A and B are shown apart, each in its own frame.
Chain A
Amino acid sequence: MEYLIGIQGPDFVLIAADNVAASSIIQMKHDYDKMFKLSEKILLLCVGEAGDTVQFAEYIQKNVQLYKMRNGYELSPAAAANFTRKNLADYLRSRTPYHVNLLLAGYDEADGPGLYYMDHLSALAKAPFAAHGYGAFLTLSILDRYYKPDLTREEAVDLLKKCLAELNKRFILNLPSFTVRLIDKDGIHDMEKLPVGPK
């Protein structure tokens, strides 16, 4: 029902998430933001079971911010991803596992851009491109075909538009708009919501 996608370039990461907040068959909100800002250059995209998403994502968010307050510097994306995975794994075999699927995207001064794929069984993988949701079945092969490790920002946005066009064409559910953000050495940039059209 929900869709997340991330594409990593040589010096940026492009991420998008759909904007629908649904409750059974009703779309309750059309402009819901599924991205959580962990730090100046790290975003956590979180989908899954209704309350678990916000609860878990905010828990990680506050802990990353606490780390910064205590130590004076921010966690790197790799460290934040591993921290998130550890928490997910700890809760997995408890009485209250969190059923969430995550993408963590960030830019590190030393290591460059990073996109981390995590799922509800707390698997972690650093990937050049990744997607979550039923829409992933439709779009991963497009990403396979057209992705190059040195793609420019414009090419990445075009690739994203191709994926969203395929969703509009073949996915049974209506996902009218997507929030798009780009992370590079200058921080997090909001980009135009896709698909562009009359509101």
Chain B
Amino acid sequence: MALQDVCGFLETLDDISPCTYLPSEMGYMWRTPFEFDRDSAFHFLFPPQQCRRKNRAPTLFSSAFSSLSPHQQPFHLSHGTTTLGFIFQDGVIAAADTRASCKGLICCPISQKIMPIHSHLVVNTSGSGADCMLWERILTREMRLYQLRHRKRLSVNGAAKLLSMMLHPFKGTNVCVAATLCGWDGDETQEALQSCMEIADVKEAMEHGTSVSTILNKSALGSEKMASINEQDAHALKPTVSDQNTKNVLSTFGGWSGPRVCYVCSDGLQLKGEIISVGSGSPYAYAVLDDGWRWGMTVDEAVALAREAVFRATHWDAYSGNNVDLFHITAHGWRRRDREDLKEEYYRERERKKKMIKDREKERQKREGGELAEGEGDIYSVCCR
């Protein structure tokens, strides 16, 4: 039948092995009843590696549609954003702007690009907004299933591998997701905490009064830890790790516990690193980050660095702007800083610059005044006033 051929209905019935989600092209055409079943929890029951239809999955329907012209995008997708994530001695900082743009239009000036996946993992997303939202939810589901099945959280690198494997069948299609997974690996036991990080610093950071999200610790264990830390005091302030060989410091984390940042891209690139920035504003952000990053930074310094990097990127990049979101992840979970409007920051900086110029002016005059007393008048002092 003609309708059956167009939908490729019989082809889907053959495909009993659970594979992956259909590529986005399908969404614009017919949806068969069979397809709705595939959205059930049955999906991803088996790891995607066992999918033998690897070669066929993205083209399962395109072969049926080969006579049709490729679907035209209603508008050009542009991937304008600035997101960044970096690790340091006291956890991970994830920051992003909030502008969602579409060619020359700002679709949403207050979008949220950093999404928490679970209590110790957030993901910075860039690329196509719809794809990012979908894949965030898929990743959250898979992480939760893993946690329920294995009674421990999947590591950041494991989550990155999982996401990379799930995205692989869609390579070559229009799926565009560039995600940075920022999180803390490892147990939340007190012993692990003490051996891995400076508790005093965390405690200090928590007292800074930035908004602590109530969704913070899903597990009861986590909230117990929070409570116990709050009660504790007089924990000896350990000296902050100065910026030595970062490799040495990283290795003290035992290789399995500690801050992690990992980049996953829909065309397959997967990178672990210390500083990752993605988006059209990333070159500007990298310039600031490379200059100021040290392993031994304090929380305040790290937050200031991240804010500045996003601010500079939004200044130069047309597709980034509006506000900056900032998350800080430690062994206790993630904390979110209030959203800040970068327009205010721009005016504050202008004021600061004006003040700085005035101060330098005064100093120069003082020096000139000293020189004039010696009888040396020069053009410079004339220009001063």
Q: Is B267 an interface residue (CB 8 A)?
A: yes
**A 25-46 to B, binary, CB cutoff 8 A, 1 in contact else 0:** 1101100100000000000000
Known A-B contacts A55-B168, A96-B171; the reply to A32 vs B268 at CB < 8 A is: no
Q: Is A194 an interface residue (CB 8 A)?
A: no
CB distance from B81 to the nearest CB of A (A): 14
**Cα(A55)–Cα(B54), bound, Å:** 12
Known A-B contacts A54-B270, A55-B268; the reply to A96 vs B164 at CB < 8 A is: no
B171 touching A94, Cβ below 8 Å: no
Question: Which among B55-63, B132-140, B215-223, B234-242 touches the partner chain?
Answer: B55-63
> Taking CB as reference atom, which chain B residue is nearest A95?
B59
Main DSSP-derived SS at the A contact region: mixed
**Cα(A29)–Cα(B55), bound, Å:** 30
Contacts of B171 in A (CB 8 A): 51-52, 96
A21 touching B58, Cβ below 8 Å: no
Contacts of B276 in A (CB 8 A): 28
Determine which residue in A51, A52, A53, A55 has the highest number of CB atoms from chain B within 10 A of its CB, and name it: A51
Contact of B283 among A25, A50, A95 (CB under 8 A): A25
CB distance from A65 to the nearest CB of B (A): 14
Q: Is B295 an interface residue (CB 8 A)?
A: no
**B 252-295 to A, binary, CB cutoff 8 A, 1 in contact else 0:** 00000000000101011111010010000011001000000000
B263 touching A28, Cβ below 8 Å: yes
Interface residues of B in 125-164 (CB under 8 A from A): 164
Contacts of B283 in A (CB 8 A): 25-26
Determine which residue in A32, A52, A96 has the highest number of CB atoms from chain B within 10 A of its CB, and name it: A96
Q: Is A23 an interface residue (CB 8 A)?
A: yes
A52 touching B268, Cβ below 8 Å: yes
Known A-B contacts A26-B286, A28-B263, A95-B59; the reply to A49 vs B268 at CB < 8 A is: yes
**Cα(A52)–Cα(B286), bound, Å:** 26
Q: Is B172 an interface residue (CB 8 A)?
A: yes
Contact of A96 among B54, B267, B269, B282 (CB under 8 A): B54
B265 touching A51, Cβ below 8 Å: yes
B286 touching A21, Cβ below 8 Å: no
**Cα(A91)–Cα(B171), bound, Å:** 14
Contacts of A91 in B (CB 8 A): 55
**Cα(A158)–Cα(B95), bound, Å:** 46
Q: How many B residues face the partner with a CB closer than 8 A?
A: 21
Contacts of B58 in A (CB 8 A): 95-96
Main DSSP-derived SS at the B contact region: mixed
> Taking CB as reference atom, which chain B residue is nearest A32?
B271
Contacts of A50 in B (CB 8 A): 265, 267-269
**Cα(A133)–Cα(B26), bound, Å:** 38
B268 touching A51, Cβ below 8 Å: yes
CB distance from A88 to the nearest CB of B (A): 14
**Cα(A54)–Cα(B151), bound, Å:** 29
A94 touching B55, Cβ below 8 Å: yes
> Taking CB as reference atom, which chain A residue is nearest B54?
A96
Known A-B contacts A55-B168, A95-B56; the reply to A29 vs B265 at CB < 8 A is: no
A51 touching B59, Cβ below 8 Å: no
B271 touching A28, Cβ below 8 Å: yes
Known A-B contacts A23-B269, A96-B54; the reply to A51 vs B282 at CB < 8 A is: no
**Cα(A25)–Cα(B282), bound, Å:** 10
A26 touching B282, Cβ below 8 Å: yes
B268 touching A96, Cβ below 8 Å: no
B273 touching A29, Cβ below 8 Å: yes
**Cα(A25)–Cα(B271), bound, Å:** 16
**Cα(A51)–Cα(B54), bound, Å:** 15
Contacts of B59 in A (CB 8 A): 95
B55 touching A51, Cβ below 8 Å: no
**Cα(A94)–Cα(B59), bound, Å:** 11
**Cα(A25)–Cα(B263), bound, Å:** 16
CB distance from B287 to the nearest CB of A (A): 11
> Taking CB as reference atom, which chain A residue is nearest B282?
A26
Interface residues of B in 60-85 (CB under 8 A from A): none
**Cα(A143)–Cα(B233), bound, Å:** 66
Contact of A23 among B54, B55, B172, B265 (CB under 8 A): B265
**Cα(A94)–Cα(B58), bound, Å:** 12
> Taking CB as reference atom, which chain A residue is nearest B171?
A51
**Cα(A43)–Cα(B270), bound, Å:** 20
**B 336-361 to A, binary, CB cutoff 8 A, 1 in contact else 0:** 00000000000000000000000000
**Cα(A133)–Cα(B329), bound, Å:** 40
Contact of B273 among A28, A51, A94 (CB under 8 A): A28
CB distance from A48 to the nearest CB of B (A): 10
Contact of A95 among B55, B268, B269 (CB under 8 A): B55
**Cα(A28)–Cα(B55), bound, Å:** 30
**Cα(A23)–Cα(B79), bound, Å:** 14
Determine which residue in A25, A49, A55, A91 has the highest number of CB atoms from chain B within 10 A of its CB, and name it: A55
Known A-B contacts A28-B263, A50-B265; the reply to A21 vs B271 at CB < 8 A is: yes
User: What are 7 residue pairs bridging A and B, where the CB atoms are less than 8 Å apart in the complex?
Assistant: A21-B269, A26-B282, A26-B286, A51-B168, A51-B171, A51-B270, A95-B58
- Please provide the 4 A-B residue pairs with the shortest distance between their CB atoms, ordered closest to farther: A51-B268, A50-B269, A94-B55, A50-B267
Interface residues of A (CB under 8 A from B): 21, 23, 25-26, 28-29, 32, 49-55, 91, 94-96
Beyond A49-B267, A50-B265, A50-B269, 7 additional contacts (C-beta under 8 Å) are: A26-B286, A28-B271, A51-B270, A54-B268, A95-B59, A96-B58, A96-B171
